Homo-oligomer: A and B are copies of this chain.
Amino acid sequence: MKPSVLLVECPDRPGLVHGISGVLFRRGVNVVGNHEFVDRPSQRFFMRTEFDGTVDTTELMTELRSVVPEGATLRLSHLEPKRVVVLASKEHHCVADILVRHAFKQLNAHIQAVVSNHDALESFVEKFDLPFHCIPHGELSREVHEAEILTAVLRYKPDYIVLAKYMRVLSPGFVHRFPARILNIHHSFLPAFVGARPYHQAYERGVKVIGASAHFVTEQLDAGPIIVQQVIPVDHTHGAADLAQAGQDVEQLALARAMRLVFEDRVFLCENRTVIFD
């Protein structure tokens, strides 16, 4: 049986760990893991506790409220699989990695569907018995196309949207509907090479290491909180196309790792940074 997870975020003050652990102790649950962090600049306290045993959620929350400051964010998760819609374009490697992990139950998620602006991945996705929605932009305006994508996504009431090499920029209006609920994989070591064609930019700059950054999407392009970054060394023999090829493995690994962390409720936001308890 999966453990439950208590997530606490509030202004720091003395005695928080003692107080919160006391509530759980008196409720008789068995704590199997515990992480705390205080962010000095913001004086915010973050805590994630895994425990076995059943509790009355309402009573637990009431008791916890009495030991944390006003305005604390408290959340109790039972690690239910998250509902996820994947957005993709033509590239297969991140989508394929997600579908394989999903097929073998390695993601704490139910993938609902893949939505794409191209049909390139249709037959591949269908191997996995998942709905594939192809919404080509064709003659559509940017706004109308995005609205159709949004309609397709909303139908599934997703907890999270995962951009698995989806190559269109989402509008602030779209992003705004899913705060800290859209994950993207950017094919560079952010904040280097923001925007289009990062591997071409990397080639021109002559870098000796390339990377991939999994991050939450915010209204500002490629500027959201970073969850995972992974890198690999390259050299002068790599042209821009070779860099793109070499980058695929770290892209799918960084995205897979970010999904695991988010779907297991291990990621807090702290300003534009992430606090991750792994």
Contacts and interface: CB of A to CB of B under 8 A. Distances in A.
Interface of A: 14-15, 17-18, 21-22, 24-25, 28, 30-34, 36-41, 92-93, 96-97, 100, 103-104, 124, 127-128, 189-193, 204-209, 211, 213, 225-231, 233, 235-237, 239, 249, 253, 256, 270, 272-276
Given A22-B22, A208-B229, A236-B273, 14 more contacts: A14-B30, A15-B25, A18-B25, A39-B236, A96-B100, A96-B103, A103-B124, A127-B128, A189-B192, A189-B209, A191-B192, A206-B225, A206-B273, A229-B233
Contacts of A235: 276
8 contacts: A18-B21, A18-B22, A18-B25, A100-B100, A127-B127, A190-B205, A207-B229, A231-B231
Contacts of A225: 206
Contacts of A226: 205-208
Stoichiometry (number of copies): 4
A184 to B, nearest CB: 15
A132 to B, nearest CB: 14
A24 B14 CA distance: 10
Contacts of A211: 209, 231
A206 B92 contact: no
A137 B51 CA distance: 42
Contacts of A192: 189-192
A1 to B, nearest CB: 16
Contacts of A272: 204-206
Given A229-B207, A236-B275, A21 B32 contact: no
Contacts of A41: 239
A102 B236 CA distance: 28
Contacts of A249: 253, 256
A83 to B, nearest CB: 23
Nearest to A223: B205
A208 B236 contact: no
A97 B256 CA distance: 14
Contacts of A275: 236
Given A21-B18, A31-B14, A37 B104 contact: no
B206 A231 contact: no
